[in-house]
A and B are shown apart, each in its own frame.
Chain A
Amino acid sequence: MLVRTITTLFSILLILVLIAACGDDEDTPVSATATSIPATATAPALATPTPVAIQELRANLGGEPSTLDPQLATGLHEFSVIRQVFQGLLGFNADLSLKPVVALEVPTVENGGISDDGLVYTFKLREDATWSDGQSVTADDFVFAIKRLLDPQLGAPNSFLYFGIAGAMEYTTSGEVDDAALEALRDAVGVEAMDNTTLKVTLSEPGPTFLQLMALTYVYPVRQDIIETAGTQWTEAGTYIGNGPYIMTEWAHQDHITLELNSDYWGPMPNLTKITYRMITDPNSELAAYRNDELDLSQVPPGIEESITGDATLGAEVVRSLQLFTFGVFFNTTAAPFDEVTVRKAFAMAIDRDSWVDKIKNGVGLAATSWLPPGMPGYDPAVGSENAFDPSAAQALLSSAGFPGGEGFPDVSYAFVDAGEGSLIAEFLQGQFRDNLGIEVSLEPLDPPSYFQKVIGGRDFQLTGIGWGADYPDPESFLAPLFMTGSPQNIAGYSNPEFDGSAGPAFAELDQAMRIDLWQRAHEVLMGDVPVAPFFHNERFFLLKPQVQGLTLTPIDGAIPGDTMLGEVSISP
């Protein structure tokens, strides 16, 4: 509470200062908002072997990483580091298609990389890929990494994503077994090195998104010898040996991480010779650091977007991009009053999303009626549009549910995490339900662990707001964990056999068009049932110094915009 008050006061003060600073430039108003990135400089893909000068990118991670272990890390700011120090078999292009990285090519049925039954994947590895200490990257390194991810003793949070691999689930969830049995289960996992440069992965059933999973950091290779000697502290600078273009030369805990170019990198040499990641936790301090030329990139603290776009200098440095992210109001569908679809629909139609985006967010973000975000395969703006803002229809629905004008509606509360924009969203929603339905929703602010235990873990809520980002760019990642019957992440307690009937087959459908079609059908069913009222899609709104050239944004970037592919980025003098 105190921290929030302080943050609010702080923001207000900073706004005043910014407005005051803008005042000087009022003679030359700049209305333009950069909506695209400065054109990619004609940087050669392969730089000359001797770097001409230091090209340093300075960005803010926003906090100390909990871990930099590829198998364990789940935070966006952790990915921002791991992606520069390690390389996986596959990676993502800017359009989110797959590209080979350590693998020679993306396996397909045509090139013999995928067996006809879709169960066996063979990855041929580049022979020249090396670790930063000079050793070759071998198929064994990948086998070690994948089995380590699945190791029940490691307790990796995202191991379940890979349960499609034969024997994976049995190994990870083996529980109390003796060492020999565990060893046998480990050996039975369908991952093996045929030779130094051939990796074979066997699935228990066809997995159409398996290749995307192989592009994620969780299965990036790691070095068995290093981890066995250095233990859990192997991620410190010095023993943090990767196979990527950068070497972590310093991790000053809670302060900064320094990455320097690995001059022996086997892949295309990036232009940046140095990346400095600061750990500034206060967004207002981050902006101040940017304005003092200590950072090349900075997020804009929520609420002051307008004063930034109105500023003569900063306005021209604004970069915006839509993320694969949807924030929605979740209903607890297992208990009254939100077990009634009419009531849920009424609430969904009582939210004036445009007013949020235009008036509160100064145009940042996109009003959402579809749970799938734009840019996601299968996105269709028409789906869910019947639940768009319509107060009179909402009131009619509420009447038909037996609560005319909100009369007799039970007391309900909206639970939320009292951090960042949480309370702003909550207060906006409270106003919407009051004005448009005549229902007074009480607010229940919680600190993160309490919220996670009560709402996410215990489903002890009526209304809550949750933002969802894609683990990988596929509708599966947006729909299956949240809405399939019995899924541990199914916060709303949603269950519809029709939804499951589309989602189930989609998991194993190898024909991409048919698969997307199945997910679209599931999405339509979902939007008809409204276990979630989509509210808005997130938009990155940040500042970028004009000397930074060639930043390519993707919807799956980590904490730093563009960190999926920093190879083309250069700093012009």
Chain B
Amino acid sequence: MAGYTIRRVLWIIPVMFAIASITFALMHFVPGGPWDREKKLPASVVETLNQRYGLDDPLWEQYWNFLTDAVRGDLGVSYTFQDRPVTNIIREGIPKTAILGGIAFLIVIGVGVPLGVVAAIRRNSVTDYTSMVLTTLLASIPGFVLGIFLMILFSLQWHLLPTGGWGSPSHVVMPALALAALPTALIARVTRASVLEVLDQDYVRTARAKGLSSLVIHYRHVLKNASIPILTSLGPELAALITGSFIVESLFSIPGIGRLFVEGVFQRDYGLIMGMVLFYALVIAVVNLFVDLLYMLADPRIRYAASR
């Protein structure tokens, strides 16, 4: 397992390199640059700016400079936010997006998994139908519509929560719910399906015949064996939640990285775009690795060959 882990960690390096190269190329092919403004900048100003940010160097040199700096952990400076280092900007935004995503993830696990298990165990009961109608509904309402709905109820009708911003737990409630809705519904459905499949297995029938309590059966035999598909779905959801959502962050004015990234693209802030893409790639790679390792814990039959 140690060998496998090391190999996977090392694989992250070429993956990041490929992503950095593709992003760099795409960014420079898209029309419009960071200095194309509403009022045309004088040529001398553009020249100065290109010089300062090294944009007058040949592309390969810019690329090389970026890579060598990135390896040292320096992602460069933002062009739109007066030379603020991209690492600082990301570092300031991450905690907010991550807290929000983390809480949403807890909702996903805490509500989605039990909901799916209960629905499966009480298959074709009123509980099952109710939970499936609810999850279908949650899965089909876009996050921002749900967000507006929550805002209207909690802020405009009852005046219980602020409409947006950051700084207190009350700021987190609505965006976390809006973020969690869709993944909760998906996880509930995945859980229901995989639990149903396990419930029909012979070993569950055997366990029942042995006279084990249903709690033990469900916890030890069913849920554990049903967990692989759930883990597979949870991994990407976690990555998506902690990297933030432009729509939810804009709606609730969250100073996180989800909003920042999209704005960076709109402004052709090359520094910010490269930094954010690399960061996202790293998060997704690490979360995937983590999920793969969890498989082994969930199912001892899964062994990753160290070499083949």
Interface residues of A (CB under 8 A from B): 3, 6, 9-10, 13-14, 17, 21, 64, 66-69, 72, 74, 152-157, 159-160, 172-173, 175, 232-233, 235, 252-256, 278-282, 284-285, 288-289, 291-294, 447-454, 456-457, 481, 488-489
Partner of A292, one of B38, B92, B159, B259: B159
| Interchain CA distance A74-B82 in the complex, whole Å | 12
A285 touches B247 (CB 8 A): no
Is B41 an interface residue, CB under 8 A from the partner? yes
B144 touches A292 (CB 8 A): no
A281 touches B36 (CB 8 A): no
B39 touches A489 (CB 8 A): yes
A447 touches B32 (CB 8 A): yes
Known A157-B41, A489-B40; judge A450-B164 contact (CB<8 A). Answer: no
15 contacts between A and B (CB under 8 A): A6-B144, A6-B247, A66-B82, A154-B48, A254-B92, A254-B93, A254-B255, A255-B167, A280-B164, A288-B155, A292-B163, A447-B266, A452-B40, A454-B31, A489-B40
| Minimum-distance CB pairs A-B, first 5 | A449-B32, A254-B255, A452-B36, A155-B48, A67-B82
| Interchain CA distance A290-B207 in the complex, whole Å | 60
Is B19 an interface residue, CB under 8 A from the partner? no
Is B294 an interface residue, CB under 8 A from the partner? no
Known A254-B259, A278-B253, A292-B159; judge A456-B166 contact (CB<8 A). Answer: no
| Interchain CA distance A282-B144 in the complex, whole Å | 12
A10 touches B48 (CB 8 A): no
B163 touches A285 (CB 8 A): yes
Interface residues of B (CB under 8 A from A): 30-34, 36-45, 47-49, 52, 80-84, 89, 92-93, 142, 144-145, 148, 151-152, 155-156, 159, 162-167, 246-247, 250-253, 255-256, 259-260, 262, 266-268
Enumerate chain B residues within 8 angstroms of A294, measured Cβ to Cβ: 162-163, 165
Name A67's closest neighbour in chain B (CB-CB).
Answer: B82
Enumerate chain A residues within 8 angstroms of B82, measured Cβ to Cβ: 66-69, 72, 232-233, 235
B95 to chain A, nearest CB (A): 12
Partner of B42, one of A448, A450, A488: A488
Partner of B48, one of A13, A153, A292: A153
| Interchain CA distance A278-B81 in the complex, whole Å | 17
A155 touches B49 (CB 8 A): yes
Q: Could you list 13 further interchain pairs (A-B, Cβ under 8 angstroms) beyond the known A3-B262, A232-B82?
A: A21-B156, A64-B81, A66-B82, A157-B37, A253-B92, A254-B255, A448-B267, A449-B36, A450-B31, A452-B37, A452-B40, A454-B31, A488-B40
Enumerate chain A residues within 8 angstroms of B30, measured Cβ to Cβ: 449-450
A453 touches B252 (CB 8 A): no
Partner of B163, one of A14, A256, A288: A288
Known A160-B42, A489-B39; judge A255-B48 contact (CB<8 A). Answer: no
A456 touches B253 (CB 8 A): no
Known A157-B41, A160-B42, A253-B255; judge A282-B93 contact (CB<8 A). Answer: no
A155 touches B267 (CB 8 A): no
Name B171's closest neighbour in chain A (CB-CB).
Answer: A255
B103 to chain A, nearest CB (A): 18
Known A64-B81, A450-B31; judge A157-B92 contact (CB<8 A). Answer: no
Partner of A17, one of B92, B144, B152: B152
A449 touches B31 (CB 8 A): yes
B32 touches A452 (CB 8 A): yes
Known A159-B45, A292-B159, A450-B31; judge A281-B250 contact (CB<8 A). Answer: yes
Name B45's closest neighbour in chain A (CB-CB).
Answer: A155
A156 touches B45 (CB 8 A): yes
| Interchain CA distance A488-B32 in the complex, whole Å | 18
Known A292-B159, A450-B31; judge A155-B251 contact (CB<8 A). Answer: no
Enumerate chain B residues within 8 angstroms of A21, measured Cβ to Cβ: 156
Enumerate chain A residues within 8 angstroms of B151, measured Cβ to Cβ: 285, 288
Enumerate chain B residues within 8 angstroms of A284, measured Cβ to Cβ: 148
| Interchain CA distance A284-B147 in the complex, whole Å | 12
A173 touches B36 (CB 8 A): no
Known A157-B41, A232-B83, A456-B40; judge A449-B255 contact (CB<8 A). Answer: no
A10 touches B93 (CB 8 A): no
Known A157-B41, A281-B253; judge A289-B48 contact (CB<8 A). Answer: no
| Interchain CA distance A10-B252 in the complex, whole Å | 13
Known A448-B32, A452-B36; judge A172-B255 contact (CB<8 A). Answer: no
Partner of B34, one of A67, A172, A449: A449
Partner of A278, one of B34, B93, B165: B165
A448 touches B165 (CB 8 A): no
| Interchain CA distance A282-B175 in the complex, whole Å | 15
Enumerate chain A residues within 8 angstroms of B255, measured Cβ to Cβ: 252-255, 279
Instruction: Give the most central of B49, B152, B155, B163: most A CB within 10 Å.
Output: B163
| Interchain CA distance A121-B62 in the complex, whole Å | 46
Enumerate chain B residues within 8 angstroms of A450, measured Cβ to Cβ: 30-32, 36
B253 touches A279 (CB 8 A): yes
Enumerate chain A residues within 8 angstroms of B48, measured Cβ to Cβ: 152-155
A7 to chain B, nearest CB (A): 9
Known A13-B145, A160-B42, A489-B39; judge A449-B268 contact (CB<8 A). Answer: yes
B81 touches A255 (CB 8 A): no
B36 touches A456 (CB 8 A): yes
| Interchain CA distance A235-B82 in the complex, whole Å | 9
B253 touches A255 (CB 8 A): yes
Enumerate chain A residues within 8 angstroms of B259, measured Cβ to Cβ: 254, 281
Partner of B165, one of A235, A255, A456: A255
| Interchain CA distance A279-B263 in the complex, whole Å | 13
Enumerate chain A residues within 8 angstroms of B256, measured Cβ to Cβ: 254
A61 to chain B, nearest CB (A): 11
| Interchain CA distance A449-B266 in the complex, whole Å | 7
| Interchain CA distance A120-B131 in the complex, whole Å | 80
Known A157-B41, A285-B163, A488-B42; judge A13-B92 contact (CB<8 A). Answer: no
Known A14-B148, A64-B81, A254-B260; judge A457-B166 contact (CB<8 A). Answer: no
Enumerate chain B residues within 8 angstroms of A447, measured Cβ to Cβ: 32, 266
Enumerate chain A residues within 8 angstroms of B267, measured Cβ to Cβ: 448-449
B82 to chain A, nearest CB (A): 4
B52 touches A155 (CB 8 A): yes
A66 touches B31 (CB 8 A): no
Partner of A448, one of B47, B89, B251, B266: B266
A249 to chain B, nearest CB (A): 15
A291 touches B252 (CB 8 A): no
A453 touches B36 (CB 8 A): yes
| Interchain CA distance A3-B266 in the complex, whole Å | 11
Enumerate chain B residues within 8 angstroms of A159, measured Cβ to Cβ: 42, 45
| Interchain CA distance A309-B41 in the complex, whole Å | 40
